[in-house]
Every structure is written in structure tokens, then in C-alpha cells.
């Protein structure tokens, strides 16, 4: 199965910084000069096109930061440049991440006209006290209104929720999740709250002022998530992503199936297949620094490294084992030049952590997902 080619575009600005977030997102007093950024996006797309040669684009993802702060005309200009470089497939999935405030929902029709056909909304929680504790700038009612507007404006939509929040009880989370599912979404991203170094949440956590659930409660929250979504016909197709059959995010599948993607904009990562082989790329993270580099050199690349085939095999393993469909052993063997250690595989299967599908693919079991990192480390060794 050819995972195809996609383009990730990073918009690095937010209205305010959420206290749990360590994404490459920045708050500025004055609005950024979108015309200048658009010119830089165009230049960097042109540079990456020279690296890849001809491609057909299966998916585009505008992530952030908060891409829903961009004017629809900026989004349209970037999509026009992508289409000129790597023509968009007629059925391409074109997603934009949006914060669910009323101001942003007001721009949804403009994004639709610009070529966006899927939105991913950062709802995060469905009760106002949790939203306040997460430092969000919207209420639950406002977020649900944005969900309704998104469903009328776009063919496809998804929303994100964060769980394993301080003091969250499994029975409350089950009810919240049922309410979310009742909104009729085809796709949900459900992330366990992680405490990221350098964030205000990390400082509060260290000071004992923010308590995340104990491991047994975290496990119960995880189990509730799997049971509730599966019962509603939205099983996990990836460790944190749930969808109705056929509604999986094609762009995210492209990452996890270890396809090829160009990363455009400040701090964007890419994996490019060039005449010299597969390359890992990333660009300057600072928005203004990135702009300066692109204006001087035509691109903001600060990392552009060849990946050996064993390194590619490891990346394929790390990405692919997140998926319910698992990995193709033949593809792993072709990349790494070796098969898995049969004794380790048998042991993991015996412990109920791993299973071999009828078609020979290896996948992590629902029981294994909470300890995925250890399984990957074991197989990669
Ligand atoms: C790039 S962010 C968000 C998009 C948008 N700016 C928003 O906040 O609505 C993607 C998602 O990552 C999740 N996320 C960010 N930081 C997290 C953390 N520390 N723990 C768990 N999930 C997190 C949130 O659910 C968020 O919607
Ligand atoms: S969670 Fe979203 S809105 Fe909040 S700071 Fe991170 S990227 Fe920005």
C-alpha cells in the first residue's frame, strides 16, 4: 500500500498560550504581516518542490499554533502554491486546525471557499470549569456551536478532547465522551493530558499544585475511552484517534504509514524522498527568524539529513505500531535488512501485548497500547 504524499503547513501564532501546551506557538501583540508570510510560504514550497520532483498531493494539513487565525485569502494563496507545485488530487483531504471561538467559526465559510474540506476543532473539554482550568478562551457552549457550524460548512470534521485531567473521574469522563459522540462527529482525537517540560502546568505539577490521575485511575480513564468509543462505532484506529469506518484522517494515516510529506513554515518537519534517498527535514522554529531565512535563502531549513535504511525501519516501527492495523513485517525487513527477533516476538505475543494478523501484519493489542513505548523499544533492540 503506497502511503502517498502530503503537505504539512505550520501557522505558529495563537491568541494566548495555553498553560499545558509546548507546541511551536507564539503570542504577538501586533497581528503578523500575512502578506509577508504568504510570500515566504510560496518561496519555501517552491524550494521543496525542487527537492522532491513531481508529486500528486493526497492531503494537506494546516496545523499550529492556530491556523484559524489566518485570513481565508492567505489559506487560499498557500493552497494555490501547493497545487502549482504538487497538483492536488481531486479527492485530496485538506484539513485546517481551528480553535472553537465564535470569531473563528465566522471564517469557516471563507475557508471552505478557499479549498478546506475538513476541520479539526480543539474543543478540549465539554464543561466550563475544566475549560477554565485548561486556560481556554472559549466556553463549552461556544465550542459546541463552532462544531455545529463546522458540520454545516465542511464535508468532514473532527474534534480534540483532553482527558486524564486533574481530578477527573472515569464515570464523569464516560458521560462527557458520550455527549461528544452524540454530536455526531465522524472523528475524535482523544489525548491524555501530558505535563510538558517548561510549561506553566509543569511548574504547578512540580509544586504539587496540579495533580494528574494516579496510574490506576489513568488506566480506568483509558479503558473507558476505548469501551465508550468502540461501542459507539468509533473505535481507535490509532492510539489517540478514533473514527467511523472510512472517516480516518488520511493525512495522519500518511504519517503513521511512513509516507512522504513536505513540512512548510516555522518549525515544520518533513520526510522527503529525494534522488539521494529519504531525508528528515525541519525548519527554523522562530516565526520572525524563519521569515528572515526564507527571505534571504528561499527556505528556512535548519535540518536536512539523510536517513539510513535501518533508521527508516526504526521510524516505520515507531509510527506504524501506533496504528490498529499495525505494521507490514516485509516492509520492515526490506528497510532494516533483518527480521524481528523471533523469541522476542513470541514472548510479546505470549504476554498478550502483540498479535499477528491473518495477513501477517504485526499489531499491538489493546492491552499493549498503554505500554507501547516499551514494546517498540523491545522490537527495535
Ligand atoms: C496544535 S494543538 C491545537 C490546535 C488548536 N490550537 C487548539 O488548541 O485548539 C493540537 C492538539 O494537541 C492537544 N494537546 C496539546 N498539548 C497537549 C498536552 N500537554 N496534553 C495533551 N494534549 C495536548 C490538544 O488537544 C490540541 O487540540
Ligand atoms: S493548545 Fe492550541 S491554542 Fe493553546 S497554545 Fe497550544 S496551539 Fe495555541
Per-residue pLDDT reduced to its tens digit, 42-63: 999 999 999 999 999 999 999 9
Query: What band does 381 get if pLDDT is binned at 50, 70 and 90?
Result: confident
Run of H or E residues at 214: none
Give the Cα separation of 378 and 327 in Å (integer): 15
- Give the Cα separation of 26 and 24 in Å (integer): 7
- Rounded to an integer, the average pLDDT of 225-236 is 96
pLDDT of 102 higher than 90: no
Can you tell me the distance from the alpha carbon of 265 to that of 283, in angstroms, rounded to the nearest whole number?
7
Asked whether the predicted pLDDT for residue 3 surpasses 90, the reply is no
Is residue 307 scored above 80 in pLDDT?
Answer: yes
C-beta of residue 10 within 8 angstroms of C-beta of residue 268: yes
Give per-residue pLDDT as tens, 243-271: 999 999 999 999 999 999 999 999 999 99
What are 162-221's pLDDT values in tens digits?
A: 999 999 999 999 999 999 999 988 999 999 999 999 999 999 999 999 999 999 999 999
The fraction of the chain above a pLDDT of 90, given in percent, is: 94
Instruction: Summarize the confidence of residues 340-358 as an average pLDDT.
Output: 94
User: Which distant-in-sequence residues (6+ apart) come within 8 Å of 75 by Cβ?
Assistant: 62, 67, 96, 111, 114, 115, 116
Separation of CA 191 and ligand 1 centre (Å): 8
Most informative mutation of 23, 203, 285 for ligand 1 (most atoms within 8 A of CB): 23
- Report the alpha-carbon distance of residue 69 to residue 150 in Å, rounded: 15
Ligand at shortest distance from the CA of 27: 2
pLDDT for res 40: 98
Distance CA 110, CA 188 (A): 24
Q: Is 308 in the pocket of ligand 1 (CB under 6 A)?
A: no
Query: What does the pLDDT look like over 135-164, one tens digit per residue?
Result: 999 999 999 999 999 999 999 999 999 999
149 three-state secondary structure: helix
- Is the torsion defined by CA of 364, 282, 261, 292 positive or negative? positive
The residue to which cell 494528574 is assigned: 212
Q: Give how far the C-alpha of residue 11 lies from the chain's centroid of Cα atoms, to the nearest Å.
A: 14
Beta bridge partners of 139: none
1 pLDDT more than 80 = no
What whole-number distance in Å separates Cα of residue 368 and Cα of residue 355?
10
DSSP 338-358: S---HHHHHHHHHTTSEEE-T
Q: What is the pLDDT of residue 277?
A: 94
Pocket test for ligand 1, best of 61, 160, 193 (most atoms within 8 A of CB): 160
- What is the distance in A from the centroid of ligand 1 to the CA of 21? 7
For the residues 302-328, what does the mean pLDDT come to?
Answer: 96
Residue located via cell numbers 515544520:
268
Residue 251 CA: distances (Å) to CA of 57, 60, 242, 255, 259: 10, 7, 14, 7, 10
Task: Return the residue matching grid coordinates 517498540.
Answer: 376
What is the enclosing helix (H) or strand (E) of 56?
A: none
Q: Is the C-beta atom of 193 inside 6 A of ligand 1? A: yes
Amino acid at each position: 500500500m503506497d502511503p502517498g504524499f502530503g503537505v504539512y503547513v505550520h501557522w505558529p501564532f495563537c491568541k494566548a498560550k495555553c498553560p499545558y501546551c509546548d507546541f511551536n506557538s507564539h503570542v504577538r501583540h501586533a497581528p503578523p504581516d500575512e502578506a509577508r508570510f504568504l510570500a515566504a510560504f510560496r518561496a519555501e514550497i517552491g524550494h521543496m518542490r525542487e527537492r522532491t520532483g513531481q508529486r500528486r498531493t493526497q492531503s494537506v494539513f494546516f496545523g499550529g499554533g492556530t491556523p484559524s487565525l489566518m485570513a481565508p485569502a492567505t489559506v487560499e494563496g498557500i493552497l494555490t502554491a501547493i497545487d502549482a507545485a504538487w497538483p492536488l488530487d481531486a479527492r485530496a483531504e485538506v484539513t485546517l486546525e481551528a480553535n472553537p471561538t465564535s470569531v473563528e467559526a465566522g471564517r469557516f465559510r471563507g475557508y471552505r471557499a478557499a479549498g478546506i474540506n475538513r476541520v479539526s476543532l480543539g474543543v478540549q473539554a465539554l464543561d466550563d470549569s475544566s475549560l477554565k482550568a485548561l486556560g481556554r478562551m472559549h466556553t463549552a457552549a461556544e465550542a459546541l456551536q463552532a462544531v455545529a457550524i463546522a458540520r454545516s460548512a465542511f464535508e468532514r470534521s473532527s474534534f480534540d478532547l483532553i482527558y486524564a485531567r486533574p481530578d477527573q473521574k472515569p464515570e464523569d469522563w464516560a458521560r462527557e465522551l458520550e455527549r461528544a459522540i452524540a454530536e455526531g462527529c465522524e472523528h475524535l482525537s482523544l489525548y491524555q493530558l501530558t505535563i510538558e517540560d517548561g510549561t506553566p502546568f509543569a511548574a504547578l505539577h512540580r509544586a504539587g499544585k496540579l495533580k494528574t490521575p494516579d496510574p490506576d485511575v489513568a488506566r480506568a480513564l483509558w479503558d473507558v475511552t476505548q469501551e465508550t468509543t468502540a461501542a459507539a462505532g468509533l473505535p481507535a484506529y490509532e492510539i489517540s484517534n478514533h473514527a467511523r469506518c472510512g472517516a480516518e484522517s488520511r493525512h495522519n494515516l500518511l504519517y503513521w504509514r511512513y509516507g512522504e510529506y513536505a513540512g512548510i513554515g516555522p518549525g515544520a518537519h518533513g520526510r522527503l524522498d529525494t534522488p539521494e534517498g529519504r531525508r528528515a527535514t525541519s525548519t527554523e522554529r522562530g516565526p520572525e527568524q524563519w521569515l528572515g531565512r526564507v527571505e534571504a535563502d528561499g527556505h528556512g531549513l535548519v535540518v536536512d539529513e539523510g536517513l539510513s535504511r535501518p533508521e527508516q525501519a526504526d521510524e516505520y516501527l515507531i509510527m506504524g505500531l501506533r496504528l490498529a492495523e499495525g505494521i507490514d513485517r516485509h516492509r520492515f525487513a526490506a528497510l532494516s535488512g533483518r527480521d524481528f527477533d523471533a523469541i522476542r516476538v513470541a514472548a510479546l505475543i505470549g504476554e498478550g501485548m502483540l498479535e499477528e494478523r491473518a495477513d501477517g501484519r504485526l499489531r499491538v493489542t489493546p492491552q499493549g497500547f498503554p505500554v507501547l513505548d516499551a514494546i517498540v523499544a523491545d522490537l527495535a533492540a
